[in-house]
Structure 1
Amino acid sequence: MDGGTSFGDKRNRYVGWQFVEGYPVIAIAGLDQEEVLAPYWKSRQASIRNAAGTTLALLLFTFIAMALSVRLAWRKYQLDLVKATYRKATEGGSEGFYIARPIRNEAGEIMDFQAIDCNERGAAFFRLRRKEFIGQMTSSLYDQGVVQALRGMLTKAMETGRYEGELALPVDPRGHERFVQFKAVRSDGDLAVTLRDITHEKQHLRNLEQRSNEDLLTGLPNRSWVNTFLPDAVARAVSCNGMLAVLFIDLDGFKEVNDRLGHAAGDDILRNAGRRLKEAVRPHDNVARLGGDEFIVILEEIRQESDAAHVAERVLHAFKEIFRVRQGVASIGTSIGISIFPNDAKDAGALLQNADIAMYAVKTRGKHYYQFFNPAFYDALQSRMKRESDLRYAIENDQFIMYYQARLDMATGRTSSMEALVRWMHPSEGLIEPREFIPLAEETGLILELGELVIDKVCAQIGKWMRDGGPMVPVSINVSSRQFNEADIPKMLFDALAKHAIDASLVEVELTESAVMGNIEDVSDAINVIHGLGIKLLVDDFGTGYSSLSKLQRLDFDILKVDKSFTEQLGKGKHEQVFFSAIITMAHALGMRVVAEGVEKKEQLDILRELLCDEIQGFYISHPLAPTQAQSGLCQGLPKNMVAVQ
């Protein structure tokens, strides 16, 4: 009811009435509208407020979501831009990259990897374009061997977070090997893989390794290669319970040929020797050069010692044919020592050492054969090592004395010169002749120190004789081939002359033919310097080498000493006398005096006088003698009735 007209308080009311059955009464009830609707209006206001707040919150959330969406889109755009920029930046470089995503089975195990992004170079490593590579599975890229290796690397990177290594890829269409530096880093469940082609670096390293393991002269493997290969060969023999043989080969006569024909000829012979060895052994055997004139052959998969002996016999046969080089011909043999695994040694070092010892045993027994290792050879080796040690000590402590043998002038019958000959005064063995230690000194290189010592001792003795007074004759000093070619002989002579204050005319130098068979310019320069000091030069033991008189004359030698082997033949036949006469005639024509060595009989002296030989030397005239107070005490003359009439 409208409160404005019906009620004094002007408030609307809800009114209801009803007749009361059985009674003359009407029940009337009224409710104030404001009171009835107050909860509604209160609820309505709260709902409106909540709706407004919810709407505001929704609007705020929507705004934030839109902002985040825009930000994420921007970040994705930036990331895509960075990826695209990185791809473009790397296209011109040498590195390739791709993103690999692991493919797992229901148990979570990695079964494969899928490329989800890459640059062009990354795809090119797998011989694909970028569009073709993206989406590819690792298992479809190469053959099973490469796939397993690549998958293993990727799996390790997933497990550890990072992996680096090298991957060998199949040859490219041009037949070249290809090697890749592989680097994978885990990121957000994927792998960022970087690839770099290292084929050229690997090839360079391989070339360096090959050079370090290859003898540059012969092309054969060298000692470094042997030190790596032989232990592996022994390990293979152990694993299969097999036998292995090492043949240690030394070229007989090489040093003499090298001195006689020169180093260029020696190099040609070594190359030829390497080829002959390769042809003599079995196809699967290995030939290597240890250095100098030493080679080894490694025989794997032999059943018995005789297999090694058969190979050794083929090597000996291969060297029966003479060597022909530009400088001349040479006869070279081989001494071969054989060591067998496991009979003679259990490791590579001992195997090689025992083969060397066996080879040395062949050398001491006449060369040109082969010998299996025997423990008794150690005694011989120890004896040699002791002799070498004693010789080294003797040089350091000057245990040497000089003997002098006179050389007589056939025209006057008087001493024209004398040759200095070294002797070793051993503290326990007594006086040792040169033939007992000079070859060892040559072989070990001690001849260089010994030769310098001899030059100093001879010059010191000449100085002493000069101070003592009396007549003087020159003294000749022997200089070996190795000493002449490896030491500075002119400087040694100059220093010794200055140190002992002696005249250069009192010193002569004897060189063998082999000593001057090297580079003609180097030899000529050294000889010219010696001549410039005022020292005469003699050719010692002429006829035992391969030099010619004309070559010796070009080198400006003063005196020619004919080897005693020719003197020994005088009186035994006319041919020998004719040959000796021809030498004397040609030497005189070239301005050289001639000395006959090894004169031991009067008959030889008479023939030499008839041949107009200038000087003689030998036991018939004088044995080598120790120095006396005055040099004249060593000078002996011929009886007057034996002096040649000129």
Structure 2
Amino acid sequence: MTDYNIDFLIAGLVFLIFLLIHFQRYKKLNNISGRTFWFLIIAGIFDIIFDLLSSILLVKSNPAYNSWMIFFSTMLYILQMIVVYIFYNYTQALRHCDEDIRTRNIKIMAVPILCMEVAIVTNVLHKQFFYCNEQGQYVHGKAYLVTYIFTLICIAAVIINCFINQEEYQKNELRAIKEFLGVALVCVTIQMKFQSVLMTGFGLSLGITILFWALYNPQLYIDSLTGLYSKGYFRRWFPEQIKRKKELHLLMIDLWKLKQVNKLYGVTTGDELLIQIAEYLHKINEANHVFRIHGNRFFVFTTSLMDYETNKDAIMKLFKRPFKVKGERISFSAAICGIINVQEVKEIDVLIDYLEYLVQLKPKSDRTILIQNDQHTKEGFLYEQEVKKYMATAIEEDLFEVYYQPLYDLKEKRYRTMEALSRLRHPSLGMISPEVFIGIAEKHGQIAKLGYLQFRKVCKFIKEHPQIMEKIESIKYNLSPLELLKSGYSKKLLSTIEEFDIPFSYFQFEITETVATEYSEALYQTIADFKKSGIQICLDDFGSGYANLNTVLKLPFSTIKLDRSLLNGICYDDQVALLYKNIVAVMQNLGHKVVAEGVETQEEIDLLKQWGVDLVQGYYYTKPLDSEQIIHKLEKDVC
């Protein structure tokens, strides 16, 4: 009588039980592969349990237990076939393919599995797999090896499927499947060699553990702070939902004030606030489709319009009252972006871009704002996507144009300088707003290349038309934050000016006030390089954001351009007029020239002239002109 070692079976059972608890603690991942994996764990646990029970009775070899022995062994064989089938289904669930293909393959494999299960259940009659003799001993039948051969065939089907369709799997998924099969093969081989060491169940538990830590590691798929699903899991979950072709609606919560809260109350308070919001979102979303995508963004998915409306109302209500965190009452607002029938978007990257587009539509307000997709926002987004597609071609073939808008000197009554402006004409969409294509270029790392191409055009235009330098004292050129911070970019611009043999002093580089306040250290070094060469620096859009006199004093600006928004009301609001007048006086007293942007009426001109503004820029005198038009304009308008 063989003395079987069941220690490995017990260890394997303990592994799987704790693994199941761990899996449940971090929420059973709510996708096809996650649910199939859960069934694999359950089937593995029962497989080991019946393996243990049958092994214990096998050691006893008591005829009184023959019926139990037959029952436990039959259940063991049935469960082994079920485990094989579930594992096959699991490998199909991992595939990133059409759901109909997965369903078809699963149904095909179900036929032979069902036939084997019937054969095992009827073994009590034909005894071809096993039986118990009168002495209570377990005896292999003539067809005993059929079950092992069938298992090997199923494993071969998994291997062939993974090999043929490997492009439909992620690399870590294929690696985990290979490791599972490798561990199982080693343990089965050991048991075949040493039959007293029951390693098959242990191998199964090790394989499942490998799958768990490779594909469902909580550190990868569960946000450590809030316990919600992470961005990594969202990227696996969303494509599966799309393939299932089911109704899906999304609410994104953008906590745009989180950085401010962290500064005022501390990061710990900010984290506690995030935890409170996460718990609330988890509570209102019964389907448990809640993700923390970034530090300040949450996704809430629903599968019906009714749930969408319920969740939307609950979320809006949440941000209407102050949060209580560590004795503090914090008023906290958010931008809520809703997309109905989000399954129509299909691609994750397109969805992320659409949500970014919706967030950009948020008006300047401290209140919680709801922005829902509609036909208008869809058209705007599709327009932006079309421009995005065209951008690569436009940069590669240098299809951008440079327009010039001259600035009028109110005292000397002539055009004194002009600003170079980038323009883009789409074959079918016509002229594209600079705000659109420059924003896209900055977002996708194209702005430095675009800016350099345009700057070369400006230099070439000046060099080829020396009469420009006779009539215009300088050229203003805008630099984006990313251009200013790009290593070596400033030296590249300086070398280009040298290449075209143009005096450095002929250029003024404009930077926005946002850049001046947020990018101090790198900015100061770049500006120092420009200043040393003789290039003047102009602060653009003063008054549109957060720049103050401290910012103006820190950097060597020669010119301050007042944002067009400051003009609103100067002709009929005495306080607005007084503010504008005083800003002009302060800036000039500090030694800066003042440019008024956005001037459009004679009334505005009269006031600006009275207040001593140096230069005006706007449609009152001229709109931006292309290279031919600007030459004609400067030759025609002497005064």
Q: Name the TM-score, length of structure 2 as normaliser.
A: 0.58
Give the C-alpha shift of residue 562 in structure 1. 0.5
Is 1:537 the equivalent of 2:537? yes
Give the C-alpha shift of residue 278 in structure 1. 5.3
The residue type paired with residue 234 of structure 2 is V
Whether contact under 8 Å (1:410, 1:609) holds in the other structure is: yes
Q: Deviations over 1:312-332 (max 9, x none)?
A: 333445567899xxxxx9975
The residue type paired with residue 593 of structure 1 is K
Q: Deviations over 1:176-218 (max 9, x none)?
A: xxx999784355763386999999x979947993343356898
The residue type paired with residue 196 of structure 2 is D
**1:313 counterpart residue number:** 313
- The more displaced of 528-537 and 504-513 is 528-537
d(CA) in 1 for partners of 2:541, 2:267: 22
**1:607 counterpart residue number:** 607
**1:419 counterpart residue number:** 419
Q: 1:381 to 1:601 in 2, by over 3 A?
A: closer
Q: 1:449 to 1:622 in 2, by over 3 A?
A: same
Give the C-alpha shift of residue 524 in structure 1. 2.2
Whether contact under 8 Å (2:226, 2:278) holds in the other structure is: no
d(CA) in 2 for partners of 1:450, 1:266: 38
Whether contact under 8 Å (1:405, 1:623) holds in the other structure is: yes
Secondary structure of residue in 2 paired with 1:421: strand
Q: Deviations over 1:431-450 (max 9, x none)?
A: 55535644554555544443
Give the C-alpha shift of residue 532 in structure 1. 3.1
d(CA) in 1 for partners of 2:272, 2:595: 40
Whether contact under 8 Å (2:335, 2:371) holds in the other structure is: no
Work out which of the residue numbers 44, 50, 56 in structure 2 matches 1:148.
Answer: 50
Q: Deviations over 1:111-135 (max 9, x none)?
A: xx457xx9xx9999999xxxxxxxx
Secondary structure of residue in 2 paired with 1:502: coil
Q: 1:209 to 1:408 in 2, by over 3 A?
A: same
Work out which of the residue numbers 334, 337, 340 in structure 2 matches 1:335.
Answer: 337
Is 1:245 the equivalent of 2:241? no
Whether contact under 8 Å (1:512, 1:542) holds in the other structure is: yes
Secondary structure of residue in 2 paired with 1:298: strand
| Correspondence list, 1:261-410, <5 A | 276=277, 279-280=280-281, 282=284, 284=286, 285-290=288-293, 295-299=298-302, 304-318=304-318, 332-339=334-341, 350=346, 368-369=369-370, 371=372, 383-410=383-410
Which of the pair has more CA radius of gyration? 1
Q: Deviations over 1:346-374 (max 9, x none)?
A: xxx83868976985896798885454788
Give the C-alpha shift of residue 568 in structure 1. 3.6
**2:218 counterpart residue number:** 210
Give the C-alpha shift of residue 306 in structure 1. 1.6
**Structure 1 stretches of 5 or more lacking a match?**
1-99, 103-112, 128-142, 164-178, 324-328, 640-646
Whether contact under 8 Å (2:228, 2:291) holds in the other structure is: yes
d(CA) in 1 for partners of 2:571, 2:534: 38
Whether contact under 8 Å (2:254, 2:334) holds in the other structure is: yes
d(CA) in 2 for partners of 1:124, 1:399: 68
Q: Deviations over 1:126-174 (max 9, x none)?
A: 99xxxxxxxxxxxxxxx9886436568999999889x9xxxxxxxxxxx
d(CA) in 2 for partners of 1:634, 1:216: 64
| Correspondence list, 1:116-195, <5 A | 147-148=49-50, 184-186=190-192, 190-191=196-197
- The more displaced of 407-416 and 576-585 is 407-416
d(CA) in 2 for partners of 1:459, 1:193: 77
Whether contact under 8 Å (1:338, 1:355) holds in the other structure is: no
d(CA) in 1 for partners of 2:563, 2:469: 34
d(CA) in 1 for partners of 2:493, 2:271: 34
Work out which of the residue numbers 225, 228, 236 in structure 2 matches 1:228.
Answer: 236
Whether contact under 8 Å (1:358, 1:371) holds in the other structure is: no
d(CA) in 2 for partners of 1:182, 1:147: 18
**1:478 counterpart residue number:** 478
Whether contact under 8 Å (1:415, 1:636) holds in the other structure is: no
**1:456 counterpart residue number:** 456
Whether contact under 8 Å (1:223, 1:291) holds in the other structure is: yes
Secondary structure of residue in 1 paired with 2:509: strand
- The more displaced of 536-545 and 389-398 is 389-398
Q: 1:481 to 1:320 in 2, by over 3 A?
A: farther
Q: 1:288 to 1:466 in 2, by over 3 A?
A: farther
Give the C-alpha shift of residue 422 in structure 1. 2.3
d(CA) in 2 for partners of 1:587, 1:152: 92
d(CA) in 1 for partners of 2:629, 2:382: 41
Secondary structure of residue in 2 paired with 1:415: strand
**1:575 counterpart residue number:** 575
**Structure 2 stretches of 5 or more lacking a match?**
15-44, 57-75, 81-139, 152-182, 324-330, 364-368
Whether contact under 8 Å (2:281, 2:300) holds in the other structure is: no
Q: 1:573 to 1:124 in 2, by over 3 A?
A: closer
Give the C-alpha shift of residue 628 in structure 1. 4.7
d(CA) in 1 for partners of 2:339, 2:47: 45
d(CA) in 1 for partners of 2:373, 2:51: 48
d(CA) in 2 for partners of 1:559, 1:381: 37
d(CA) in 2 for partners of 1:294, 1:314: 17
Q: 1:202 to 1:572 in 2, by over 3 A?
A: same
The residue type paired with residue 286 of structure 1 is H
Secondary structure of residue in 2 paired with 1:558: strand
Give the C-alpha shift of residue 513 in structure 1. 1.8
Q: 1:582 to 1:388 in 2, by over 3 A?
A: same
More strand as a share of residues = 1
More helix as a share of residues = 2
Q: 1:370 to 1:463 in 2, by over 3 A?
A: same
The residue type paired with residue 280 of structure 2 is E
Give the C-alpha shift of residue 266 in structure 1. 13
Q: How many percent identity over aligned positions?
A: 22
| Correspondence list, 1:438-453, <5 A | 438-442=438-442, 445-453=445-453
The residue type paired with residue 585 of structure 1 is A
Q: 1:246 to 1:436 in 2, by over 3 A?
A: closer
Report the aligned-residue RMSD.
5.5
- The more displaced of 387-396 and 534-543 is 387-396
The residue type paired with residue 595 of structure 1 is V
d(CA) in 2 for partners of 1:205, 1:520: 44
Is 1:513 the equivalent of 2:513? yes
Secondary structure of residue in 1 paired with 2:470: coil
d(CA) in 2 for partners of 1:539, 1:395: 27
d(CA) in 1 for partners of 2:55, 2:547: 69
Whether contact under 8 Å (2:406, 2:417) holds in the other structure is: yes
Number of aligned residue pairs: give it: 471
d(CA) in 2 for partners of 1:453, 1:638: 31
Whether contact under 8 Å (2:252, 2:297) holds in the other structure is: yes
d(CA) in 2 for partners of 1:637, 1:362: 45
d(CA) in 2 for partners of 1:267, 1:546: 27
Whether contact under 8 Å (2:564, 2:598) holds in the other structure is: yes
Q: Deviations over 1:410-431 (max 9, x none)?
A: 4433433211122334445655
The residue type paired with residue 555 of structure 1 is L
Give the C-alpha shift of residue 563 in structure 1. 0.9
d(CA) in 1 for partners of 2:591, 2:332: 31
Q: 1:307 to 1:526 in 2, by over 3 A?
A: same
Whether contact under 8 Å (1:222, 1:288) holds in the other structure is: yes
Is 1:560 the equivalent of 2:560? yes
